[in-house]
Amino acid sequence: MSNRLLPRLLQTPAVLLLLVWMLVPLSMTLYFSFIRYVLNSLRKPEWTTPSISNWRGFGNYEYVLNAKDFWFAIQNSVFIVSFILVLTVVLGLGIAVLVNRSFPGRGIVRVLLISPFFVMPAVNAVLWINMILDPVLGLNGLAVGGINALVDGLRDFPILGSFFSLWPEFEPISFRATQTSSYAVIMMVAWQWTPFAVLIFMTSLQSEDESTKEAATLDGASAWSQFINLTVPHLGRPIAIVIMIQSIFHLSLYAEIEIVSRGNGNKNLPYLIGEFTSNNIGAASATGIFAVILANIIAIFLLRMVGKTLMD
């Protein structure tokens, strides 16, 4: 009995800390989601204190379900995360295979490739939206301007000119606009997290059994069929882990969305909660509970996927 006690004792601080961290704020959120609670109200000052007498039942939930941005925010959360996952896994696989062989300057290539992962999200967003994607002052605008100038110049050529005169002037895309801001966020986050996928895939590629591959080469298997039949199955576990860790981080994206367009056309659930929190705490809490439910659905799915392989 006593030798079971010690391991439990060693885990207790971690378990207790996480339990308090999870339960205390969450039960408050749950309570606030059932009462009328706003930060400022001139007409109903009694609503500004979180009192049980302001009980609203499921009213906040109803309100949130009917709020115009709610379903959009859920869709958009899932859309952003899935898009980023596909991009980072595909790019990460390709790049990891590319740098797995040795070649001159491989060390430097690796350092350059990994660097975006160390950039803080706030800087990432400021850098991309201002200096790269801005339609006037960023490289986006400058590049499109350059192409237009080039086409303009080509119009004066004989024969070819008549072909180029049919070309329209290109318009740079504004990534702060309603339809495009989510793509800006996807681009910058994928840029930052592809290196993470590369790191994980690279490590497990190094543990791949070289002798099997050599045998396959001798048997005349092409590089592509080796990749599909040997490498990809070997990478099943790391792919699951990359998906799991990234989902954890990207479901709560906030800084990038705030900096790119202040949520214009691109709200996710955390952002919607943030907007409600500026005044309507009841609605914010109800949305929070929905976000917890969504996170749990995704967590069950992901943890199954990873958990199966974790203990053996």
Partner 1 sequence: MATVTQKSKLSNVLWPALAWIVAIIFFFPIFWLVFTSFKTDADAVKPEFLFRFTPTLENYTNMTQNYDYWKFATNSVITSTFATLFALIVGVPAAYAMAFDPSRHTKDILMWMLSTKMLPAAAVLYPMTFLTKNFLGIFDTHFLVILVLCLINLPIVIWMLFTYFKEIPKEIIEAGKMDGVTTWGEIKDILIPLAWGGIASTALLTFIFCWNEAYWTVRLTTIDAATLSKLIEGNRAPEGLFFGRLSAVSTAAIAPIVVLGWFCQKQLVAGLTFGAVK
**Of 8 and 158, which CB lies nearer to partner 1 in the complex structure?**
8
Decide if 96 contacts 196 (C-beta within 8 A).
no
Name the phi and psi angles at 35, rounded to 5.
-120, 160
Site for partner 1 in 146-175 (CB under 8 A): none
Minimum distance of partner 1 from residue 253's CB (angstroms): 9
**Of 135 and 182, which CB lies nearer to partner 1 in the complex structure?**
135
Pairwise CA distance, residues 147 & 231, whole Å: 41
Minimum distance of partner 1 from residue 289's CB (angstroms): 7
Unique residue bearing structure tokens 């500004």: 48
Pairwise CA distance, residues 10 & 288, whole Å: 33
Closest CA to 262 of 152, 156, 143, 176: 176
When asked if residue 203 is in the footprint of partner 1 (CB under 8 A), the reply is yes
Total chain residues near partner 1 (CB under 8 A): 102
Decide if 47 contacts 54 (C-beta within 8 A).
yes
- Cβ atoms < 10 Å from Cβ of 91: 17
Residue among 60, 194, 231, 266 that touches partner 1 (CB under 8 A): 194
**Of 23 and 215, which CB lies nearer to partner 1 in the complex structure?**
23
Name the phi and psi angles at 59, rounded to 5.
-55, -45
Site for partner 1 in 111-140 (CB under 8 A): 111-123, 125-128, 130-132, 134, 136-137, 139
In angstroms, the Cα distances linking 120 to 117, 153, 178, 199 are: 8, 41, 25, 18
Minimum distance of partner 1 from residue 237's CB (angstroms): 5
Site for partner 1 in 242-301 (CB under 8 A): 245, 247-248, 251-252, 254-255, 258-259, 269-271, 273-274, 277, 281, 284-285, 287-289, 291-292, 295-296, 298-299
Pairwise CA distance, residues 280 & 59, whole Å: 13
Q: Provide CB contacts within 8 A for 84, sequence distance 6+.
A: 186, 189, 190, 193, 246, 250
Name the phi and psi angles at 161, rounded to 5.
-55, -40
**Of 82 and 252, which CB lies nearer to partner 1 in the complex structure?**
252
Residue among 78, 109, 221, 230 that touches partner 1 (CB under 8 A): 109
When asked if residue 52 is in the footprint of partner 1 (CB under 8 A), the reply is no
Minimum distance of partner 1 from residue 106's CB (angstroms): 8
Stretch that binds partner 1, among 7-15, 41-49, 61-69, 160-168 (CB under 8 A): 7-15
**Of 84 and 238, which CB lies nearer to partner 1 in the complex structure?**
238
Site for partner 1 in 17-46 (CB under 8 A): 17-18, 21-22, 24-26, 28-29, 32
Pairwise CA distance, residues 163 & 151, whole Å: 10
When asked if residue 7 is in the footprint of partner 1 (CB under 8 A), the reply is yes
Minimum distance of partner 1 from residue 94's CB (angstroms): 8
Site for partner 1 in 86-105 (CB under 8 A): 95, 98-99, 101, 103-105
- Cβ atoms < 10 Å from Cβ of 306: 14
Maximum CA pair distance of the chain? 94
